[in-house]
Amino acid sequence: MADPLLVVDVQHGFLNRYTHHIPDRIVQLIQRDQPDPVLFTRFVNAPDGPYHRFLDWHACVGSPETDLAPELAPFASPDRLFVKEGFTGISDELAKELQRLRLERVMIVGIDTDMCVLKVAMDVFDLGIQPLVAIDCCASTAGLQAHLAGLAVLSRNIGADALLDAGLNGGGLAAPR
């Protein structure tokens, strides 16, 4: 059995030409490694939150944009799904769950490498749990350059050895066509 897995924001509102491959890769990872537990975050853009006020961005306020990718829904039980708002990496509820589980490390995958995955990994690090990021099971809605920028920042902040290749990329860095 593999390390616990934390799936970050793999939801309809973040699936595009740069990220469309991520749900299938995560399903392959779950089926191959059988992590326990598998935890999920789901981003919800609160109506009075900073994205609305400062960036005039009004997407991901509700279904269907906030629904998990359909490939992953069968793996997400309600007690393992944690809502987060804004740049919050992990909610108080998720932090409590991670601490209750007494994890030494957790594998992190998801969307956006340069934003949410980055913040979640750094928050997990701050909890004293070693974050491991499967680089081929992450992507950015802004494309490969943003993904690579996120990995560069993660390398500096959680350590280069914490960035791992799960072997699911088929030999390519960018999203498959």
pLDDT at 1: 53
Any residues with CB less than 8 A from the CB of 1 and at least 6 apart, and which?
A: 33, 34, 35, 36
pLDDT at 52: 74
Do β-strands 5-8 and 163-164 pair in parallel, antiparallel, or remain unpaired? unpaired
Q: Quickly list DSSP for 44-84.
A: ---TTSHHHHHH-----SSTTTTSBPTTTGGG--GGGEEEE
Name the residue ranges covered by the structural domains of the chain: 5-164
pLDDT at 58: 79
CB 101, CB 113: distance < 8 Å: no
Count Cβ atoms below 10 Å from residue 136 Cβ, excluding itself.
21
- 83 phi and psi angles, rounded to 5 deg: -85, 140
- Mean pLDDT of successive 10-residue segments in the chain (177 residues)? 89 97 97 97 88 82 91 96 85 96 97 96 97 97 97 97 94 81
Token couple for 5: 């897995």
pLDDT at 176: 85
Q: Per CATH, the architecture of 5-164 is what?
A: 3-Layer(aba) Sandwich (3.40)
pLDDT at 64: 95
Report the first-to-last Cα separation within the chain, whole angstroms: 32
pLDDT at 83: 94
C-alpha atoms less than 13 angstroms from C-alpha of 73 in its C-beta half-sphere: 9
pLDDT at 90: 92
Q: Quickly list DSSP for 84-117.
A: E-TT-SS-HHHHHHHHHTT-SEEEEEEE-IIIII
CB 138, CB 116: distance < 8 Å: no
pLDDT at 79: 95
Look at the block and give the residue holding tokens 């969307």: 111
